[in-house]
Amino acid sequence: MKSLVVITGASSGFGEEIAKQFAADGYPMLLLGRREEKLAEVAKDMDNVMIDTVDVTDYDQFEKAIRKAEDKYGKTDLLVNNAGLMLLGNVQNQDRKEWQTMLDTNVMGVLNGTQIVLNDMRERHHGTILNMSSLAGKKTFVNHAAYVASKFGVHGLSETIREESAAENVRVMMVAPGAAETELLTHVTSKSALSDYESWKETMGGITLDPVHVAETVKFMYDMPQEVNIREVDIAATRQD
Ligand code: NDP
C-alpha cells in the first residue's frame, strides 16, 4: 500500500485536481475542506479516500482528522497545504476582517498542518510538505496587499522549515502559481478589485493557467526520490507578465 497523502482545500480548484492526480496513481488520501458535499463529490469515484470537514485554522480539528486517517492508512507521507483565500481590496478601505481571515487561513493554516505532521516525518527521516504559495508570494500586485503579505509569509516560513528539516531528510516544497480561474475570486467583495482583475486578464489575452497543470506539477515534484527536493516551482500562463 502506498503512503498517505493529505490535501487541504480539496473541495475545489487546485486541491481537487491534485486529489485526482494522486487517486489515479492509487494513493490513500485524506481530503480536507469545510464543505462536506463538495468533498464527497470529489471523492465519489475514488478508492481509499477519507474526507473530513476541517477548518485549517482550528488546530485540534485539523489534528484529529489527520490522526484518524493515519490510524487507517499509516503515517502521512505528503501533506499538501493548499487551502487558501484571496480577498482583494485596497488597504485604505478594505474590511480588516478580510485581512485577518487571509492571514489566519493562508499562514496559520500552513503552520498548523506542518506542526501536526512534521515530528513524525523527522523521526522517520521521510516525508514531504508541499505548500501552495503564489507568484504573489514573490512579487507585488495592486489590490493584493494582505494576500501578498500572507503569501510572502508562506515563502519565508517554507524555506525556514526546509532548512530546519533538511538534515532529517524531510522535504519542504513550494509551488507558486500565477492566475488560474478556480473558485478563488468568487469570495472577493470589492467590485473595483474584480474589475481591475478583469482588465489585467485582458493583457494576457484572457488566458489563465489550467489547474490541471498545477496538479501535474505537484505530482511530478512528489514523485522525485526522497533524496531530491524540487524546492520551488513557479508556474503561470505563458502570457502572464
Ligand atoms: P479555490 O477557492 O477553488 O480553493 C480553495 C480551497 O481552500 C477550497 O477547497 C476551500 O474549501 C479551502 N479553504 C478555504 N479556507 C479554508 C479553511 N479555513 N479551512 C479549510 N479549507 C479552506 O481556490 P484555488 O484552488 O485557486 O486555491 C488553492 C490555493 O492556491 C490557495 O492557497 C490559493 O491562494 C493558491 N493560489 C491560487 C491561484 C489562482 O489564481 N487560483 C494562484 C496562486 C495561488 P472550503 O470552502 O470547502 O473550505
163-198 per-position pLDDT tens digit: 999 999 999 999 999 999 999 999 999 999 999 999
- 13-43: per-residue pLDDT in tens? 999 999 999 999 999 999 999 999 999 999 9
Give the integer Cα–Cα distance in Å for 133 and 174: 6
Q: Say if residue 87 is exposed, middle or buried (CB neighbours under 10 Å; 0-12, 13-18, 19+).
A: buried
* Residue 180 CA from chain centroid, whole number: 14
Domain that holds residue 55: 4-232
Query: Is-catalytic flag, 222?
Result: no
CA distance 201 to 236: 13
What local confidence, expressed as pLDDT, does residue 42 receive? 98
The C-alpha atoms of residue 89 and residue 190 are separated, in whole angstroms, by: 6
* 50-75 residue pLDDT tens: 999 999 999 999 999 999 999 999 99
What's the CA gap between 79 and 56, in Å, rounded? 13
ipTM higher than the 0.90 cut = yes
Whether residue 85 has its Cβ less than 6 Å from ligand 1:
yes
13 in the Ramachandran plot: left (φ > 0), alpha (ψ -120 to 50) or beta?
Answer: left
Identify whether 166 is part of a domain: yes
Q: What's the domain count of the chain?
A: 1
Average pLDDT over all residues of the chain: 98
Q: Is residue 207 part of a domain?
A: yes
The whole-model pTM stands at: 0.99
221 part of a folded domain: yes
pLDDT value at position 233?
98
Closest to 158 (Cα-Cα) out of 70, 58, 80, 54: 80
CATH number for position 98: 3.40.50.720
Residue that is written with C-alpha cell 506542526 in the block = 115
Examine residue 237 and state whether it is found in any structural domain, yes or no: no
Is residue 241 one of the residues assigned to a domain? no
Instruction: Tell me what percent of the residues of the chain surpass a pLDDT of 90.
Output: 99
Query: Which mutation among 6, 12, 21, 42 tests ligand 1's pocket best, with the greatest number of atoms within 8 A of CB?
Result: 12
- SS3 state of residue 135: helix
Gyration radius of the chain's alpha carbons:
17
Tell me, yes or no, whether 239 lies in a domain.
Answer: no
In a domain, 238, yes or no: no
- DSSP state at residue 108: I
Side chain identity, residue 62: F
DSSP states of 64-99: HHHHHHHHHH-SEEEEEE---------TTTS-HHHH
**Size of the chain, expressed as the number of residues it contains:** 241
Q: Tell me the CA–centroid distance for residue 134 and ligand 1, in Å.
A: 11
Ligand 1 centroid to Cα of residue 45, in Å, is 22
